[in-house]
Structure 1
Amino acid sequence: MVTIKEIAKAVGVSSATVSRVLNYDPALSISPAKRQAVIETAEALNYATPRSRKGQVGAPVAGPAQARLAIVHFLQSTEELADPYYIGVRLGIEARCREIKAEIVQIFHADMEADPQVLQSVAGTIVIGKQSDDRIDWLAEQGRPLVFADFLPPRERFDAVHCDLDTATRRMLDALKQAGYRRIAFIGSHEHLNGETQRFGERRCRAYIDWMTTEGLFDPALLVLGDFCNSGQNLRLEAGYALAQAVLAVTPRPEILMTANDNMAIGAYRAIREAGLSIAGDISVVSFNDIPVAQFLSPPLSSLRIQGEHIGETAVDLLAERLAGRGYVKTVTIPAAMQWRESCRPPA
């Protein structure tokens, strides 16, 4: 486990500043560059620990020498900074590209169509995050091999690497049931894709509904969703705060709250404390992504670690295989790993 002191030393700021940045303290006055350095360093140090590197098998796949690759991100640059999970995906891509001596061109969502010649000048493209059907078709028209990271395209035309969130969510719920929880609440977002809003279409939400229904435990009052897209951290924190308040008003109160991501969990922590309740004592909390801040919350947050850095590494390997001549489509699933901490009871 990386420490706040190690992050502070690497960035050249105080431990208190690191703590306030990682906990998204809105009152902290710090330059955007320093804030970015703290968040990226926290993710990078976690990525470099033996825990995250253990079990990596084999050498990087050889690709064309000095290849020039593009990373296309579904977020804006400021939105990526607000979600350290995607920083982890990018760090994995960058680390593997250094190993195979490939150059990277990074393109964020707003700039994607500004200069298509950039995409036409690279050997291949790694696309991070969910994309609409129209955007996938536009990317394919640029005539370069595509690999999708953290997204499974609806049509089996392209290589992809992702985490099976349906299975991961069900396994988490199995573990919570084994730990004795029955009244399990969920807060999250509706799915937004192809210009449409699917009220219960987000994968974690859908898996939660199916599992709770099968177990005979589903209570509609314990499912509270917001209507927001991937935006800055403040919206996610405030969404977690507001949605948690709605859940806490339900009688009887749930035993545990599952949040769709760790930023929402931070907002939920504030709502729980303002209600005069203790986390784990009165209501437990569990979440997804296991961003660096999760281990520094009080109490430390139990969270499903989605291996973003390994998703990024594998995306580069898939693209290198394509450039080396592989002619068939390949999909790789990277398992998630639950990190049990003091915010809830672990399974026996």
Structure 2
Amino acid sequence: MVTIKEIAAAVGVSSATVSRVLNYDPTLSISTKKRQAIIETAEALNYATPRNRNRAAAQSLGAGLKIALVHFLDPAKELADPYYVGVRLGIESRCQALKSEVVKVFLTGNAPEATILEGASGVVAVGHYYGEELEWLRRHSRHLVFADYAPIGDLDDSVLSDVGRAMTRLLEAAHAMGYRRIGFVGWVDAFYGPDNIHAERRCRTFIDWMTRAGLYDPDLCMVERMTPDSGYTLAKTMLSKPNPPKLLITCNDNMALGAYRAIQELGLRIPEDVAVASFNDIPVAQFLAPPLTTVKIPAELIGETAVDLLLERLSGREVAKKVILATEIIWRGSMARPAEAEEPAGTRLAARD
């Protein structure tokens, strides 16, 4: 494989100059003609950057591997949550591109045969795992990566999005648009037990941010153990209170679907009577009436990145890595857009209370 030194010799410049050109260093002072000569020579000699060499090595390494995909939802429950379908599809598509075999395992009750994991080159675990399940995965996996979850500590590779930070951005935008009476419905994270029902990251961030802003009302923060009807029942209860929220944030889009149904049954309008915002951006979100404002979490990219982390481990990386992928607020009709709330200079935005 051609080296920077060989390119430098062919063009008649130093290796440092070649390196800076190929890394697009904007501070380098060099003639256009010389820069073009370096780039053309590198292309002619088929030079590959270290990143591209690593990518090619990963492609070669992935061929023929057996990867166990462990899911915390059974097929029926996963089908009801398009977000986790997206994570799984990301894993499968990346493995297909690498020519790796995928073996699916559902850890939804009794533990499957440990030999399935032990016979795999590595394991990608989708979802949340605690206690005995977590230790079982660690014990029987040669290499283990978590997708959409990061266990406490720094033992494991993981990839996820920071939903706490996303909640903060959403609340900051809502506050800037004048919303003050803001409610939240979500679920209880089973790991923390009945004494800490508000520990789920979105919920905890909501309470902390609203408290600092002097806006927190315990009556407008409701959680329960997740069921298919949680969004509907919690939203209907909250919106039936004497002083309901003007903005309702749900923990995910599935709960928002239930909230829409509750709002319609109560004879309320979205967003005139109550705005709605959520998380995940599942495909149906854009087709609701009105379309749902939601925080887009890159489900498929989370799955793809988890496989890439596993390949890095197989290539010899020893230090655990945690990858945080960015989120984006997708503004749609269920909540006033920021541009619609811009105020002329010198005026004050009226609170939506």
TM-score range, shorter chain: 0.7 to 0.9
Are 1:278 and 2:276 counterparts? Answer: no
Residue 251 of structure 1 and its aligned partner are, at CA, apart by 2.6
Relative distance call for 1:181 and 1:195 in structure 2 (3 A) is closer
Q: Distance in 1 between matches of 2:110 and 2:143?
A: 16
Instruction: Determine whether 1:258 maps to 2:249.
Output: yes
Contact persistence 2:161–2:327 (CA under 8 A)? yes
Q: Describe the SS at the equivalent of 1:198.
A: coil
> Residue 304 of structure 1 aligns to a residue in which SS?
strand
Q: Name the residue aligned to 1:93.
A: 91
Task: Tell me the distance in 1 between the aligned counterparts of 2:271 and 2:148.
Answer: 31
CA distance change for structure 1 residues 194 and 345 in 2, over 3 Å: closer, same or farther?
Answer: closer
Residues 1:162 and 2:153 are matched in the alignment: no
Q: Which residue number in structure 2 is paired with residue 314 of structure 1? A: 305
Q: Where does residue 247 of structure 1 map in the other structure? A: 238
Matched, 1:303 2:301: no
Task: Look up the SS of the partner of 2:95 in the other structure.
Answer: helix
CA distance in 2, matches of 1:198, 1:224: 13
Give secondary structure in 1 for the equivalent of 2:190: strand
Point out where structure 2 has 5 or more consecutive residues left out of the alignment: 1-50, 340-353
1:4 counterpart residue number = none
Describe the superposition over 1:4-43 as per-residue Cα deviations: whole angstroms up to 9, x where unpaired. xxxxxxxxxxxxxxxxxxxxxxxxxxxxxxxxxxxxxxxx
* Deviation of the 1:64 alpha carbon: 4.1
Distance 1:186 1:195, change over 3 A: closer
Aligned 8 A contact 1:280 1:343 in 2 = yes
CA distance in 1 between partners of 2:141 and 2:154 (Å): 17
Q: d(CA) in 2 for partners of 1:155 and 1:326?
A: 18
Aligned equivalents of 1:273 and 1:140: distance in 2?
46
**Once the two structures are superposed, what CA deviation does each residue of 1:23-74 show, in whole Å capped at 9, x if it has no partner?**
xxxxxxxxxxxxxxxxxxxxxxxxxxxxxxxxxx975743342111001011
2:80 to 79, 82, 96: 82
Which of 338, 344, 348 is 2:329 aligned to? 338
Distance in structure 1 (CA, Å) of the matches to 2:192 and 2:117 = 22
Q: Name the CA shift for 1:88/1:143 in 2 (closer, same or farther; >3 Å).
A: closer
Amino acid paired to 1:340 = W
State the one-letter code of the partner of 1:261: N
Residue in 2 aligned with 1:140?
A: 138
What residue is the counterpart of 1:207 in the other structure? 205
Per-residue CA distance 1:233-277 (angstroms, 9 max, x = gap): xx33x2111111111122322111001111111111111111111
- CA distance in 1 between counterparts of 2:141 and 2:243 reads 57
Unaligned runs of 5+ in 1: 1-56, 230-234
1:106/1:196 Cα in 2 relative to 1: closer, same or farther (>3 Å)? farther
CA RMSD of aligned residues (A): 1.7
Letter of the structure 1 residue corresponding to residue 122 of structure 2: G
Deviation at 1:110, TM superposition (A): 3.3
8 Å CA contact 2:62–2:99 kept in 1: the answer is: no
State the TM-score, normalized to the length of structure 1: 0.78
1:137 aligns to what SS in structure 2?
helix
| Distance 1:101-1:333 versus aligned 2 partners, 3 A rule | same
Indicate the percent of aligned positions where both proteins have the same amino acid. 46
Please name the residue that 2:122 is paired with: 124
Q: Secondary structure at the match of 2:291?
A: coil
1:197 CA drift (Å): 6.1
Counterpart of 2:83, as a letter, is Y
What's the CA shift string for 1:145-187, capped at 9, x where partnerless?
Answer: 0000100111211110011111111111111111221111001
SS at match of 1:193: helix
Shift of 1:115: 1.1
